[in-house]
Amino acid sequence: NAGVTQTPKFQVLKTGQSMTLQCAQDMNHEYMSWYRQDPGMGLRLIHYSVGAGITDQGEVPNGYNVSRSTTEDFPLRLLSAAPSQTSVYFCASTGLGDSQYFGPGTRLLVL
Amino acid sequence: GESVGLHLPTLSVQEGDNSIINCAYSNSASDYFIWYKQESGKGPQFIIDIRSNMDKRQGQRVTVLLNKTVKHLSLQIAATQPGDSAVYFCAENRADTGRRALTFGSGTRLQVQP
């Protein structure tokens, strides 16, 4: 199993540009989530999904959209990037026993 | 607001010593706690977890202690090694929200001196 994969690893955007961060898992986990991590801080929940077709907001959802058309994929969309969205983004999926598995992260810089 | 937090931002220990990283939580409804290790440039890595019906749980070289009375969680690492150097996060999951997403503390950096 590849576990949780994320692409791209790095991205630079200009203010106002849009992009999609990809996340995929091959463990057949129903629950997936997106977090952002700012320097020197813990992770904050952006959006999560309890299964295909179901999504909900986390702590910091503004400026981000998600969809869950399949169990495997959970993309995160930035509709109009802002410098405040410069961060490291982590995708996670939750297995049996509530253990969360994290992807390697996407480092985003918005100029 | 209610949150999970840590007492020390940085902990420096000698190789071979035992390390103790502490965490406080404020929500009495929290029923599941996880410790994560994060190395530079990588995602958080699961270390050990504990549910609120337990006081102690042991893994390989690691032990998590839960004191529900004072809402305190600790991670003990035995015989700390240079490879243990990383940032450690505690995280909580609250059954009352129905979520299986986590609330993270701000992290403690563990530095192991050779």
Q: What is the pLDDT of residues B58-88, one digit of tens each?
A: 999 999 999 999 999 999 999 999 999 999 9
The residue behind tokens 């998600």 is: A66
Contact criterion met (CB below 8 Å) for A54 and A46:
no
**Residues A40, B44: C-beta atoms closer than 8 Å:** no
Contact list in B for residue A21 (CB cut-off 8 A) is: none
Distance of alpha carbon A82 from the chain centroid: 16
Q: Higher pLDDT residue, B92 or A106? A: A106
Distance of alpha carbon A43 from the chain centroid: 11
**Residues A104, B43: C-beta atoms closer than 8 Å:** yes
How high is the pLDDT of residue B6?
A: 42
Hey, is the C-beta of B24 within 8 angstroms of any chain A C-beta?
no
How high is the pLDDT of residue B97?
A: 57
Whole-angstrom Cα distance, residue A50 to residue A90?
17
How high is the pLDDT of residue B7?
A: 46
pLDDT (tens digit, 9 = 90+) per residue, B1-50? 334 444 448 999 999 999 999 999 878 888 889 999 999 888 899 899 99
3-state secondary structure of B72: strand
How high is the pLDDT of residue B3?
A: 44
How high is the pLDDT of residue A2?
A: 74
Give φ, ψ of B36 to 5 degrees.
-120, 150
- Enumerate the β-bridge partners of residue B113: B14
Which stretches of chain A score pLDDT less than 50? none
Structure tokens at A10: 């790095």
How high is the pLDDT of residue B31?
A: 87
Cβ count near B32 (within 10 Å)? 18
Contact list in B for residue A40 (CB cut-off 8 A) is: 106-107
* Exposure string for B54-86, b = 16+ CB within 10 A, e = fewer: eeeeeeeebbbbbeeeebebbbbbeebeeebbb
Nearest CA to B6 out of B21, B20, B19, B27 is that of B21
CA A23, A32, A34, A4 dihedral sign is negative
Hey, is the C-beta of B48 within 8 angstroms of any chain A C-beta?
no
Mention every residue, 6+ apart, whose C-beta is less than 8 A from residue B112: B12, B13, B14, B15, B19, B80, B81, B82, B84, B85
How buried is A80 (Cβ within 10 angstroms: 0-12 exposed, 13-18 middle, 19+ buried)? exposed
Q: Is the peptide bond before A8 cis (omega within 30 degrees of 0)?
A: yes
Hey, is the C-beta of B27 within 8 angstroms of any chain A C-beta?
no
